[in-house]
């Protein structure tokens, strides 16, 4: 009988990718994935350490695994375990760099008598890119392909350079081979992600155009219809890279440009490598090439020392850019980072109020952005279809579209074109969509 494995994944898209990748390795060994933790033989908690709260939750989830599945082998992996090398509530602990060793470790553990504890794997922040050979997919239409791990930036609030190690890139051939295989399985949209995507190729002495060149190579693959990029840092968006993006016919006009704060003094305390003037220029340069581009971002409210004035600057800058959506986070101090000891820390009520204000701005901008699309022709990758032909999916600009298609046998993965006729909140609406010719 096959061993059953349950995954609980915390944190970012890279973690989701890696859980899917480990899942695939285990399935190849005859394991079965279950959605019911109480029946599993192996309970894997893929942890996160991006904030103190994430750390606390990771610890809590490892303990919960033990309670929910008392007979299962509990595995802790991910950033939290890299920082807490003595995670004693798990049977097996693997860090960020040696996760793929989990499969032989598990096979060994499952063959041992029940009460025999296993030595936790030694941990180290990675120095080489580990090849997983698997991807996360959603609805069988979009595949997330990881091309880079680690970061050299040391923003003062972030633990990632310590937990995941320095930049290392996946081999170009391996990325292209994986994408070719996925097109044969019907995937049409590819989202490239990494911890610091713009640093792709950096450890090999390449500049930011290495990313642009890789994207052109991906666009040449038959069956690839759309390419999206994960989070980008403005300082890497040079004119040379934007010139390469312009040549790419399959790149979606949607850029997630990490802002974090719209106040230059806060950006400097965060040790970010850009200021608002550079951010503004990058958005302008991209809009010249992609006139209808959408911009999304991440922002932190209540960074240590953030004054009311700096918060207002941040809000005003966000509105000036006109983001399609902002992921807003209240600052959470993370032990081991410089910001942990910075003073004064902003009070919780102030942080929460500022977070709510910025989220309100994001909501208004998102609705306004959907309205801007009225009268425009959009291309939508179908993700959901109802029996009456109503579909939902994202446009290339990453606007959620709900519409009706006049053609029959609509399936997820179809690409439709049509005109946006109205909106309902964040949703763009339209009838009479047709398959792309």
Q: Which residues bind ligand SF4 (CB under 6 A)?
A: 151, 153-155, 158, 160-161, 195-196
Q: Which residues contact 73 (CB under 8 A, 6 or more apart)?
A: 41, 42, 43, 91, 92, 106, 109, 110
Least CB distance from residue 160 to ligand SF4, whole Å? 4
Cβ nearer to ligand SF4, comparing 146 with 188: 146
Sign of CA dihedral 170, 176, 182, 183: positive
Q: Which residues contact 89 (CB under 8 A, 6 or more apart)?
A: 59, 62, 63, 66, 74, 76
Q: How far is CA 210 from the centre of its chain?
A: 20
Cβ nearer to ligand SF4, comparing 273 with 436: 273
Least CB distance from residue 345 to ligand SF4, whole Å? 19
Q: What are phi and psi of 242, to 5 degrees?
A: -65, -35
Q: Which residues contact 360 (CB under 8 A, 6 or more apart)?
A: none
Least CB distance from residue 159 to ligand SF4, whole Å? 8
Least CB distance from residue 195 to ligand SF4, whole Å? 5
Cβ nearer to ligand SF4, comparing 151 with 318: 151
Cβ nearer to ligand SF4, comparing 195 with 245: 195
Least CB distance from residue 161 to ligand SF4, whole Å? 5
Nearest to 267 by CA among 279, 283, 284, 255: 279
Nearest-angstrom CA–CA distance, 286 and 24: 37
Q: Are 100 and 77 a contacting pair, CB within 8 Å?
A: no
Least CB distance from residue 256 to ligand SF4, whole Å? 12
Q: Quick one: angle between helices 308-321 and 276-289, nearest 10?
A: 10
Cβ nearer to ligand SF4, comparing 144 with 160: 160
Cβ nearer to ligand SF4, comparing 198 with 315: 198
Q: What are phi and psi of 378, to 5 degrees?
A: -125, 155
């Amino acid at each position: 009988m096959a061993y059953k494995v349950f995954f609980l994944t915390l944190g970012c898209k890279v973690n989701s990718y890696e859980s899917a990748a480990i899942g695939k390795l285990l399935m190849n060994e005859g394991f079965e994935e279950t959605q019911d933790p109480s029946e599993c033989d192996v309970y894997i908690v893929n942890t996160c350490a991006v904030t103190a709260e994430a750390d606390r939750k990771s610890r809590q989830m490892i303990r919960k695994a033990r309670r929910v599945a008392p007979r299962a082998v509990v595995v802790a992996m991910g950033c939290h375990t890299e920082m807490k090398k003595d995670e004693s509530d798990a049977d097996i602990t693997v860090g960020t760099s040696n996760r793929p060793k989990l499969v032989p470790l598990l096979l060994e553990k499952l063959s041992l008598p029940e009460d025999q504890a296993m030595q936790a794997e030694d941990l180290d922040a990675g120095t080489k890119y580990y090849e997983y050979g698997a991807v996360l997919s959603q609805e069988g239409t979009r595949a997330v392909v990881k091309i880079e791990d680690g970061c050299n930036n040391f923003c003062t609030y972030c633990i990632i350079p310590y937990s995941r190690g320095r930049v290392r890139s996946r081999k170009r051939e391996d990325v292209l081979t994986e994408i070719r295989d996925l097109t044969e399985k019907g995937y049409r949209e590819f989202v490239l992600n990494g911890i610091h995507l713009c640093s792709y190729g950096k450890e090999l002495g390449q500049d930011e155009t290495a990313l642009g060149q890789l994207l052109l190579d991906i666009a040449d693959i038959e069956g690839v219809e759309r390419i999206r990029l994960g989070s980008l840092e403005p300082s890497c968006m040079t004119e040379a890279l934007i010139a390469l993006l312009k040549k790419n016919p399959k790149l979606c006009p949607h850029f997630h440009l990490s802002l974090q704060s719209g106040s230059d003094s806060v950006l400097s305390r965060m040790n970010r490598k850009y200021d608002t003037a550079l951010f503004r220029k990058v958005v302008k340069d991209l809009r010249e090439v992609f006139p209808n581009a959408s911009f999304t971002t991440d922002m932190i409210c209540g960074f240590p020392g953030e004054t009311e004035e700096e918060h207002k600057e941040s809000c005003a800058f966000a509105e000036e850019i006109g983001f399609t959506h902002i992921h807003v986070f209240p600052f959470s101090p993370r032990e081991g980072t410089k910001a942990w000891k910075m003073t004064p820390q902003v009070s919780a009520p102030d942080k929460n109020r500022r977070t709510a204000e910025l989220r309100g701005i994001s909501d208004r901008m998102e609705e306004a952005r959907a309205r801007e699309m009225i009268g425009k022709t959009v291309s939508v990758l179908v993700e959901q279809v109802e029996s009456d032909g109503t579909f939902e999916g994202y446009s290339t600009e990453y606007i959620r579209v709900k519409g009706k298609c006049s053609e029959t046998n609509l399936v997820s993965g179809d690409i439709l074109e049509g005109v946006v006729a109205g909106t309902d909140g964040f949703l763009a609406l339209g009838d009479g969509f047709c398959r792309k010719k």
